[in-house]
Amino acid sequence: MFKRILIANRGEIAIRVFRACYDLGLHTVAMYSNEDTFSLFRTKADEAYLIGENKSPLGAYLDIDGIIDLAKRRNVDAIHPGYGFLSENADFARACEEAGITFIGPSSKILAQMGDKLTAKAIAKACNVPTIPGSAEPLKDGEEALAKAREYGFPIILKAAGGGGGRGMRRCDKEDEVIPAFNLVKSEAKKAFGNDDIFMEKFLVEPKHIEVQVLGDEQGNVVHLFERDCSLQRRYQKVVEFSPAFSVAPEIREALYADAVKIARHVGYVNAGTLEFLVDKEGHHYFIEMNPRIQVEHTVTEMVTGVDLVRAQILIAEGCPLSDPRIGLTRQEDVHINGYAIQCRVTTEDPANNFAPDTGKITAYRSGGGFGVRLDGGNAYTGAVISPYYDSLLVKITTWDNTFQGVCLKAGRAIREIHIRGVKTNIAFIS
């Protein structure tokens, strides 16, 4: 049984994991960069320590050796990686394993398979799950990318093989866009994920982006927790997500569940994961990737199923089966969907300036609330300083209601109740 857990992340997801740990009676250890010295999340842990003192703001959270050293010095039993940063890094999971520390997520072997988008696509094909036409190996350089683009036909999209969260992606509609986009994606991928492998896919115009949440335990059990519709995006980053995805026919959704569970079982997947699909206008679906970690939008699934996904992650990592009463999922039939949920992301971005990130000090903050309203934030409070170094996410607003119309009205009301001064936000855009 775990006693002490290090959260190798920052902001709202770190706070989310701290809370799940407290609910299980676990001691929490936070790590923070120089730039996060005065951030709220570090005060929510039982202990907090500076990491990557001589590294860049991003480099601090990618410092595998430094994180493992801190974990050893503080005698932690497990590390939760959150999302982003090292959450899909097989080398980090392997370093945890070699240090005798449990990585709260899939094994390094599975991460090497499913955390890499190209390998995951190959596995999907082996399971007879349809995939979008694209390159099977990392592209060597911009010239090869251009040749492949000509082969597939425009539009195409370049993707980071080790990426996630909408970063490391560029659409190209013309030949002269390919080489500059390739260089941009490669640079972004290296900085954000420590892996600059790039691949290409044919770009589907206006598809539905549907993802299926799964949980797997060490006993070989896998269940799905239905789906989320994440089609509303900006720059390939999700802005609004909801469940259930009622705009997709029930038979297509059933096919997505079956394919998601099939892939997870094929690799012996353990812990929480999300399999993402695109559904075109003709109703054909294609596997695009698996995120072998918790996702930003996991709150939507929690609201409609009543399953605490982060607590389940920790318990599964301890070796508990899905049937453990604290998870309560002995069979697929034990998972039920109730009502509708929507998540909206409030960010410190200026819609009037092409959504450029804004920085500064929050001089006034008032949040929304009420029945069926959940707020997950990391820097949403009066006096918070928003830095230019990290993601612009300020707070996630997740609402629940019995009807879709009701949940939309509730989400709009909760957003309009928010009052923020000192930095520009996207509130007017999402409300």
CA distances from 143 to 72, 160, 283 (A): 45, 17, 34
Strand partners, 171: 157
**Is 125 one of the catalytic residues?**
no
Query: What value does the CA radius of gyration of the chain take, rounded to a whole number of Å?
Result: 21
Peptide bond into 155 cis (omega under 30): yes
HEC assignment per residue over the chain: CCCEEEECCCHHHHHHHHHHHHHCCCEEEEEECHHHCCCHHHHHCCEEEECCCCCCHHHHHCCHHHHHHHHHHCCCCEEECCCCCCCCCHHHHHHHHHCCCEECCCCHHHHHHHCCHHHHHHHHHHCCCCECCECCCCCCCHHHHHHHHHHHCCCEEEEECCCCCCCCEEEECCHHHHHHHHHHHHHHHHHHHCCCCEEEEECCCCCEEEEEEEEECCCCCEEEEEEEEEEEEECCEEEEEEECCCCCCHHHHHHHHHHHHHHHHHCCCCEEEEEEEEECCCCCEEEEEEECCCCCCHHHHHHHHCCCHHHHHHHHHCCCCCCCCCCCCCCHHHCCCCCEEEEEEEECEEHHHCCEECCEECCEEECCCCCCEEEEECCCCCCCEECCCCCCEEEEEEEEECCHHHHHHHHHHHHHHCEEECCCCCHHHHC
Query: Are 83 and 115 spatial neighbours (Cβ–Cβ below 8 Å)?
Result: no
Instruction: State the pairing for strand pair 27-32/4-7.
Output: parallel
Q: Which of the residues 121, 148, 159, 238 is marked catalytic?
A: 238
Please name the residues in contact with 265: beta carbons below 8 A apart, sequence gap of 6 or more: 216, 220, 222
* Pair of tokens at residue 426: 């996207």
State whether the Cα torsion 302-410-23-8 is positive or negative. Answer: positive
CB atoms within 10 A of CB 142: 17
- Please identify every residue annotated as catalytic: 238
